[in-house]
Amino acid sequence: MCPAAILGDRACGKTTFLGLLYAAQVKYGTRVVDSFRFHAPLQSLRLMSQVYEGMKDARFPGATLKDEMTEIGFVFGYRKALSGRLPAALKEKNWVNPFAKLQFAAYDVSGEDVQEFIETGVAASPIIQQLLKSHVVVILVDCSKMTTEIDSPVFRQMLKYDSEVASLLVSLQTYKHQEFSRMKTQGLSVGTPVIYPAIVLSKFDSVRDEVLVKLGLHRGVPAGGEKRKRKEYAEALLRVFMPQTLSQIRGGKVAGVNFDQAAYFFSWVRTETAEAGMQPVGAPRIVRKGFSADGGADPDFSYEDYVAFIEHFRDVANKVPDEIVEQATLQAPPAVATA
């Protein structure tokens, strides 16, 4: 089971992202039940379900609920494409594991443990130790902090987050190189380590018009089938607001460790507006659709991007070398930080 980390700044929309990902996998899983599995501890299921149920009532997650999300983690499993037909006896005795698995955990990059690690270079915290074992890294970028006012606190906060994530990525590559060298010394046959990155632009609907105009971008994201254009669109934003992180995942090897080609996803939830396009008074309320006879409805969100997110990691799960999966099974289950 390959460990995967979801990194995010505080208040970047991590809780909302996890709730919507839970909803998307439930809906998606009913369509491809034979090729996709989702598993999570009871506590994680309860919290993600609670977040989504609140959104079905047009409410974003509250601060109280976010404070409860201290142990959020889940597993994606994808049926492997096996060549030939296996004897029934092998299947019944479970001698062959038919699913490639990724075990996700969420980490708060602004936590004190991360700050201490960046300053000292010593992974004293169990959280940092587990984060460094990840081979898949999902980075959330808060689009509400993207502004043309370069002297504003939110712009400085974005640059600080960029610096922290880039530092973590360098440390991750260094750790992978050390582990690779250790395994080679032990006489193990292992391939060159690779890190698989993905970036989620959260709260994408909150990107300011002046930001898009200055960068020469239109309001709508290119369609899902236009991967090259979507990549160019995302990187146009990241070059301004996450330049160090973008340079890191697109740059050369560090300590002999490469990044795989990054994938980009856009997360948004449609909210109600007052007349003439003005924001309504009070907390934002979520637009819902698909009302049923009993009054139930689902939030209007970027479902197709969440499906693309799930499907992207099908490819990753099948690309991860066997020695990485075998090594991960010998380790304790990953600890998780506040989401």
pLDDT class of 255 with cuts at 50, 70, 90: low
pLDDT tens per residue, range 285-303: 899 887 776 667 889 999 9
Grade residue 92 by pLDDT with cuts at 50, 70 and 90: very low
Residue 326, pLDDT above cutoff 60: no
Tell me the CA distances in angstroms from 216 to 209, 210, 213, 222, 333, one per residue in order: 10, 10, 5, 14, 45
What are the sequence ranges of the domains in the chain? 2-329
Residue 181: the pLDDT is: 86
CA distance linking residue 78 with residue 95, whole number of Å: 17
Q: Could you tell me if 176 and 260 are in contact, meaning their C-beta atoms sit under 8 angstroms apart?
A: no
Range picked from 132-146, 265-279, 322-336 for highest mean pLDDT = 132-146
Cα-Cα-Cα-Cα torsion 157, 160, 161, 164, nearest 10 degrees, comes to: -160
Token pair 């997360």 is found at: 267
| Structure confidence by residue, pLDDT tens digits, 233-247 | 999 999 999 999 999
pLDDT digits (tens, 9 = 90+) for 258-269: 899 999 999 999
Q: Can you give the pLDDT at residue 213? A: 95
Block residue for tokens 């799960």 = 317
Q: Tell me the CA end-to-end span of the chain in Å, nearest whole number.
A: 22
d(CA 329, CA 269): 36
Residue 69 has pLDDT above 80, yes or no: no
